[in-house]
Amino acid sequence: MKSHLFTLLTAALLALSLSVRGAHAATLPATDDPEARGLAIATMSDETNLGFGDTKTELRMVLTNASGQVSERRMRFNTLENKDTKDGDWNLMVFDEPRDVKGTAMLTYSHILEPDEQWMFLPALKRVKRISSVNKSGPFMGSEFAFEDFSGQEVGKYSYLWLRDEACGDRECHVVERRPLYKHSGYTRSLAWTDTQDYQIRKVVYYDRKDALLKTLTFSKYKKYLDKYWRSHDLYMENHVTGKRTRLVWENISFRTGLSEKDFSQNSLKRAR
């Protein structure tokens, strides 16, 4: 009975912490239940993004190889929040640069454990192709990002294990190990540093299929939108094996632009520009 009461109390505190901004680690499940604590941290982080509606963003990808050569990509990325929290968001990505792929567009209905549904539009042939979503771990546009690194980060995609709390820059972070539950991931696990104040991810370290250290992703230049939604404007991915780096710069982000399901159809994929 006593433990039951404790669980209830924890749940109540957790619920309270979700509604109160700047929640403190004290309201999380105790450190002797690292799985529940890890899940709670991920859930709280996810909840900070709840209700964003839709976003239109412009982004720039700067690729640097081991010898320092630089090349750039530019694209636009529209996202529609799925009101069904048990399912993933919808994305439409349009490439602007390099110029030879201008107008190439990709529509994704992401799911949590089921495979995503993806279509690609090839402007030269005016052809829409349904593509396999198995390829979520391959290099995205020759970069150090894989599609899975910046597609939906829904809570249900991973199992969690809280490892420790430690300083991260000028903040305090929870360090949580995530193991993908979806198929065809390129990683056995990743470690995510989530700060204890705003519950935003500050750093992720990825381990490959053989559990060897592969990449580090650092999030910086966070800005708050609509007084609630945090977005990092600078995502820096370093590949420790190849020495290559990719910086993803989110240049313009607009929220609640009036996008609807109609803007994420195959017809709109052909029109995307």
Partner 1 sequence: MGALGVCAALSAIIMALTSASSAIALDIELSGYIEPEWRHFPNDGPTPTHEHDFGSIAGEIELAFFDRSGDHTFIVTPFARVDEHDHERSHVDLREAKYQYVNGDWEIVIGIDKVFWGVTEFWHLVDIINQTDNVESADGEQKLGQPMLRVSLARDWGTLTGFYLPYFRLRQFPDPVTGRPTPGITVRDERAIFESKDKRFNPDAALRYTKTIDVFDIGLSYFKGTARMPVLDFGPETYDGVSVVPRYDLISQAGIDVQATIGPWLLKLEGTRREQRNQWYTQATGGAEYTLYNIFDTGTDLGIVAEYMYDQRRLDAPQPFNDDVGFGLRWTANDVQSTTLLLGGVHDLETDSTAISLEAERRLGTSFKAQLEVRLLEKAGTGDTLAQALKDEDMVRFRIAYYF
Where do contacts with partner 1 occur on this chain (CB under 8 A)?
63, 65, 71-72, 97-103, 115, 117, 125-135, 137-139, 141-142, 184, 186, 262, 265-267, 271, 273
- Provide the pairing of β-strand 117-122 with 127-131: antiparallel
CB 179 → partner 1: shortest distance, Å?
20
Q: How far is the CB of 73 from partner 1 (least distance, A)?
A: 9
Collapsing DSSP to helix, strand or coil, 107 comes out as strand
User: How far is it, in rounded angstroms, from Cα 80 to Cα 115?
Assistant: 18
Q: What's the longest Cα–Cα distance across the chain?
A: 68
Q: What are phi and psi of 66, to 5 degrees?
A: -60, -30
- The DSSP annotation for 118-181 comes to EEEEETTTTEEEEE-TT-SSSBGGGSS-BHHHHS---GGGEEEEEEEEEEETTEEEEEEEEEE-
Provide the minimum distance between the beta carbon of 80 and partner 1 in the complex, in angstroms, as a whole number.
15
Instruction: Tell me whether residue 72 or residue 166 sits nearer to partner 1 (CB atom).
Output: 72
Is 89 or 116 the residue whose CB approaches partner 1 more closely? 116
Characterize the bridge pairing of strands 245-255 and 201-208. Answer: unpaired
Least spacing, CB of residue 63 vs partner 1, in Å: 6
Instruction: Kindly tell me which of 107 and 192 has the beta carbon lying closer to partner 1.
Output: 107
- Other C-beta atoms closer than 10 Å to the C-beta of 84 total 7
Shortest distance in whole angstroms from residue 245 CB to partner 1? 12
7 phi and psi angles, rounded to 5 deg: -60, -45
- In whole angstroms, the minimum distance from the beta carbon of 115 to partner 1 comes to 7
Residue number, 52 or 145, with CB nearest to partner 1: 145
Cα 82 from Cα 111, distance rounded (Å): 10
Which CB sits closer to partner 1, 128 or 168?
Answer: 128
DSSP 87: S
